Chain A
Amino acid sequence: MSITFKEVEHIYSENTPFSYHALKGVNLDIKQGSMTALIGHTGSGKSTLIQHINALLLPTAGEIHIDDFLISVTDKPETLKPLRKKAGLVFQFPEYQLFEETIQKDIIFGPKNFGATEEEALAVAKKVLKLVGLDESYLERSPFDLSGGQKRRIAIAGILAMDPDILILDEPTAGLDPQGAKEMLNLFKKINEQGKTVILVSHDMNQVLEYCDDVVVMNKGRVERHVSVDELFRETEYLTSLSIDLPIITSFILELNKNGFDIDPSIKDINELIQVIGGQIHE
């Protein structure tokens, strides 16, 4: 499932006093099986961009290729329904999309909409519930009795149950406690390792460094960088100009290097860093 954007433009409410140019000539090529972070300030066009991947929004110019699907200006969103199954989009605060009486019914809602039978959907529901770290006893409970973090897991399970090839997540850890956020990200990493393409919108550079391979930086409707995580965090001046903070570990290494150390700034793991520092001390 490769994703290719060609000269994509998007203008909201064109030809009205409310018109807003959200995407400007976006060219992008996201590799199959990668875990790509999408970063940029509020209003930089991240949400608009990801809604093009499952054709919730159609471009006002340009085209998007997703495997065999072509999304262009003239398409009717209805004809692109099969694409919605391939590209699962998890919105920010997805817990607000729950509506069924039981968790089981809510999880099988998506698969059933795409034509799965009740039995198939139920089998999948059990599997994804386990995947998001909840046991089968939850199936018959009401989603509205759960805590915020658990609700979000159920909502994400509802998308995973559709078995998408591409998983797009809009700030999935916003408002979660650090432990919950970590578990959530480990889950996405696991899904990515099963061969699925994962696109993660995030404001937390520590998450980007630890979990992602590539980074797409958006600014004012344009894609300004599409590089590997290591390359991005080497461009400290560029990041400062966007007032994006470096990951804690990277800025710590840079601070050490300023004071005479010589450590590879692409180290991501705290234990590796300790070893490297220790080694240099013993020399």
Chain B
Amino acid sequence: MNNMMFGKYLPIDSFVHRLDPRLKIGALLLLLIAVFFDAGFLGYAILGIFVIMMALLSHIKVSQIIKAIKPMLFMMAFLMIFNLLFIQRGTLLWSFSFIKIYDQALTQTAYIFIRLVLIIVMTTILTATTKPLDLTLGIEHLLSPFKKLGFPTHEVAMMISIALRFIPTLLEETQRIMKAQASRGVEFSEGTLKQKIMSIVSLIIPLFISAFQRAEDLANAMESRNYNPEAKRTRYKQLHWKFADTISFICVIAMCSTLVVMSIVL
């Protein structure tokens, strides 16, 4: 469980780490949209180089990126096989009884593979370089225009930050309970289906009980300090938009518009 790389913050210092979280979230959104423009393999090569540069600037090791892709491999393989078999356009390349492979299916599948890898790597860069609390702060800032439409920006941000805050706690708790039950002879990786269900039950129930207990304690602690979600509040942590952020933003915009233009022209 500790090997999970996806979504884990890496406590190092780098150019990307220092960027404004608002910029990073905005850039990710724009790039995610850009990924789906069909700019051909050349477009993806350019975007690929851009993403590699971002990864280099954030000092993430290749091994860490591979670790992030690994859990997605099964889903990727599944998607690719389906695409390969069910897209039946273009010229027929190869057929064997009911299996027919067309050239367009091949390119589409390659596109999907590239898109997924790019999406995973870009998301990993965001979560690895931005502290969860900065992420929430960024989201809250980006959502603040919707406040005028009655959208509960602060409540949503508070919910996200509480959820993020408790992920490590719950993981720790899970490990603790797993160890306690392992001491009572539970084997989580072996046994018949019935034994496996029993071992999961012995983990889930204590986990739920402690999660509810924590939620109640937290709610009481917040209420006893007179927490009011509607109150106007100031922040200890301020976001500062720097020159580097502007430059980065221009680069991202340039990248996205290149892809859009390429997809229209080509």
**Which residue numbers of A lie inside 8 Å of B, CB to CB?**
13, 17, 51, 54, 56, 77-78, 81, 84-85, 88-91, 94, 96-99, 109-110, 113-114, 144, 158-159, 162
Contact = CB atoms under 8 A, between A and B. Distances in A.
A100 B234 CA distance: 47
A17 B183 contact: no
A270 B228 CA distance: 54
A74 to B, nearest CB: 17
B206 A54 contact: no
A91 B183 contact: yes
A85 B184 CA distance: 7
Contact of A96 (B11, B186, B210): B210
B185 A85 contact: yes
A83 B213 CA distance: 33
A63 B181 CA distance: 24
A278 B2 CA distance: 61
Interface pairs A-B: 5 shortest CB-CB: A113-B185, A99-B205, A110-B184, A97-B180, A89-B183
Given A91-B176, A97-B206, A98-B206, A56 B182 contact: yes
Nearest to A77: B182
Interface string B156-196: 00000000000000000000110111111111011000000
7 contacts: A96-B210, A97-B180, A97-B181, A97-B206, A99-B202, A113-B185, A114-B185
A99 B201 contact: yes
A84 B206 contact: no
Contacts of A109: 184, 202
B177 A162 contact: no
Q: Is the interface of B mostly helix, strand, loop or mixed?
A: helix
B30 to A, nearest CB: 29
B10 interface: yes
Contacts of A91: 176, 179-180, 183
B266 interface: no
Contacts of A98: 206
A52 B210 CA distance: 26
B10 A17 contact: yes
B183 A88 contact: yes
A85 B182 CA distance: 10
Given A78-B189, A109-B184, A158-B184, 8 more contacts: A17-B10, A56-B179, A78-B190, A84-B182, A91-B180, A96-B180, A97-B180, A99-B201
Given A17-B11, A78-B190, A162 B185 contact: yes
B12 interface: yes
B179 A162 contact: no
Contact of B177 (A85, A90, A97): A97
B209 interface: yes
Nearest to B182: A56
